[in-house]
A = this chain, B = another copy of it.
Amino acid sequence: MSEDEKKPKNPSRRAFLKSTGGAAAIAGIALGGLAVNPKETAAALNPMPKKWDETYDVVIIGSGFAGLAAAIEAKNAGATVTVIEKMFVHGGNSIINGGDFSAAGTKMQKEAGIQDSADIMYNDMMKTGLYLNHPGLAKTVAEQSNSALEWCQSLGARFAKVGFHGGHSVKRAHQTINASGSEVVNKLFDKVNALGIKVQTRTKLVRFVSDKGGRIVGIEVRTGYKFPDEKSGKTAYIKARKAVVLTSGGFSQDLALRQIEDPRLTDKFGSTNQPGATGEALLAACMAGAMDLQMDWIQLGPWTSPDEKGFGHVPLFCERLVGYGPMINPKTGKRFFKETGNRKERADAIILIGNPVIIMGDSYAVPKQVFPNALQKGMEAGAIKKFDTLEDLAKNYNIPFEAFTAEIAKWNSFVEKKKDADLDCMIFQDAKPTVTPPFYAARLWPKVHHTMGGLVIDNNAQVMGFDLKPVKGLYAAGEVSGGVHGAVRLGGVAMADCIVFGRIAGKNAAKEKSQI
Residues of A that sit less than 8 Å from B by CB: 1-5, 7, 10-13, 15-17, 21-22, 25-42, 44-49, 131-135, 206-208, 212-213, 220, 235, 256-257, 260-264, 283-284, 286-289, 291-297, 453, 456, 464, 466-468
What would be 22 A-B contacts, judged by CB atoms less than 8 Å apart?
A4-B10, A4-B29, A4-B30, A12-B32, A13-B32, A13-B33, A25-B35, A28-B32, A28-B33, A29-B32, A30-B30, A31-B32, A33-B47, A34-B49, A34-B220, A36-B207, A38-B208, A42-B45, A42-B289, A131-B264, A132-B263, A294-B295
Please measure, in the bound complex, the distance between the C-alpha atom of A487 and the C-alpha atom of B44, giving whole angstroms: 35
The minimal Cβ–Cβ distance linking A221 to chain B, given in whole angstroms, is 12
- A263 / chain B contacts, CB cutoff of 8 Å: 131-135
**For residue A213, which residue of chain B has the nearest CB?**
B26
| Other A-B pairs beyond A29-B35, A41-B45, 15, CB < 8 Å | A3-B10, A4-B12, A4-B27, A16-B33, A26-B44, A28-B35, A30-B33, A34-B47, A38-B206, A38-B207, A42-B42, A131-B263, A283-B291, A283-B468, A287-B466
A296 touches which one: B3, B29, B296 (CB < 8 A)?
A: B296
The minimal Cβ–Cβ distance linking A296 to chain B, given in whole angstroms, is 4
Interface contact A287-B288, CB-CB below 8 Å: no
The minimal Cβ–Cβ distance linking A218 to chain B, given in whole angstroms, is 11
Query: A33 and B4 in contact (CB under 8 A), knowing A41-B287, A260-B293, A293-B295?
Result: no
**For residue A2, which residue of chain B has the nearest CB?**
B27
Interface contact B10-A22, CB-CB below 8 Å: no
Number of copies: 2
Query: A42 and B287 in contact (CB under 8 A), knowing A28-B32, A28-B33, A456-B260?
Result: yes
Interface contact B36-A26, CB-CB below 8 Å: yes
Interface contact A13-B34, CB-CB below 8 Å: yes
**For residue A264, which residue of chain B has the nearest CB?**
B131
- A288 / chain B contacts, CB cutoff of 8 Å: 38, 42
The minimal Cβ–Cβ distance linking A416 to chain B, given in whole angstroms, is 33
Chain A interface secondary structure, helix, strand, loop or mixed?
Answer: loop
- A220 / chain B contacts, CB cutoff of 8 Å: 34, 36
Query: A132 and B31 in contact (CB under 8 A), knowing A12-B4, A38-B288, A256-B468?
Result: no
Interface contact B467-A283, CB-CB below 8 Å: yes
Please measure, in the bound complex, the distance between the C-alpha atom of A65 and the C-alpha atom of B455, giving whole angstroms: 33
Please measure, in the bound complex, the distance between the C-alpha atom of A355 and the C-alpha atom of B360, giving whole angstroms: 44
Q: 4 tightest CB-CB pairs across the interface, nearest first?
A: A30-B32, A45-B45, A21-B36, A28-B33
Interface contact B36-A46, CB-CB below 8 Å: no
- A257 / chain B contacts, CB cutoff of 8 Å: 468
Interface contact B296-A132, CB-CB below 8 Å: yes
The minimal Cβ–Cβ distance linking A443 to chain B, given in whole angstroms, is 24
A39 touches which one: B37, B131, B287, B292 (CB < 8 A)?
A: B287
**For residue A289, which residue of chain B has the nearest CB?**
B287
The minimal Cβ–Cβ distance linking A262 to chain B, given in whole angstroms, is 6
Please measure, in the bound complex, the distance between the C-alpha atom of A488 and the C-alpha atom of B8, giving whole angstroms: 55
- A7 / chain B contacts, CB cutoff of 8 Å: 10, 30
Interface contact B296-A38, CB-CB below 8 Å: no
- A27 / chain B contacts, CB cutoff of 8 Å: 1-2, 4-5, 212
Interface contact A32-B5, CB-CB below 8 Å: no
Query: A12 and B38 in contact (CB under 8 A), knowing A28-B2, A289-B287?
Result: no
Please measure, in the bound complex, the distance between the C-alpha atom of A25 and the C-alpha atom of B44, giving whole angstroms: 12
Please measure, in the bound complex, the distance between the C-alpha atom of A256 and the C-alpha atom of B7, giving whole angstroms: 40
Interface contact B26-A286, CB-CB below 8 Å: no
Please measure, in the bound complex, the distance between the C-alpha atom of A40 and the C-alpha atom of B24, giving whole angstroms: 12
Please measure, in the bound complex, the distance between the C-alpha atom of A475 and the C-alpha atom of B110, giving whole angstroms: 59
Please measure, in the bound complex, the distance between the C-alpha atom of A45 and the C-alpha atom of B41, giving whole angstroms: 7
Query: A25 and B33 in contact (CB under 8 A), knowing A2-B12, A38-B284?
Result: yes
Please measure, in the bound complex, the distance between the C-alpha atom of A191 and the C-alpha atom of B17, giving whole angstroms: 54
- A15 / chain B contacts, CB cutoff of 8 Å: 3
Please measure, in the bound complex, the distance between the C-alpha atom of A15 and the C-alpha atom of B41, giving whole angstroms: 17
Please measure, in the bound complex, the distance between the C-alpha atom of A267 and the C-alpha atom of B17, giving whole angstroms: 51
A11 touches which one: B3, B45, B453 (CB < 8 A)?
A: B3
Interface contact A30-B31, CB-CB below 8 Å: yes
- A294 / chain B contacts, CB cutoff of 8 Å: 261, 295-296
Please measure, in the bound complex, the distance between the C-alpha atom of A181 and the C-alpha atom of B37, giving whole angstroms: 35
Interface contact A212-B286, CB-CB below 8 Å: no
Please measure, in the bound complex, the distance between the C-alpha atom of A390 and the C-alpha atom of B497, giving whole angstroms: 54
The minimal Cβ–Cβ distance linking A7 to chain B, given in whole angstroms, is 7
- A295 / chain B contacts, CB cutoff of 8 Å: 293-295
Please measure, in the bound complex, the distance between the C-alpha atom of A213 and the C-alpha atom of B467, giving whole angstroms: 23
Please measure, in the bound complex, the distance between the C-alpha atom of A26 and the C-alpha atom of B44, giving whole angstroms: 9
Interface contact A36-B235, CB-CB below 8 Å: yes
- A468 / chain B contacts, CB cutoff of 8 Å: 256-257, 260, 283
The minimal Cβ–Cβ distance linking A230 to chain B, given in whole angstroms, is 11
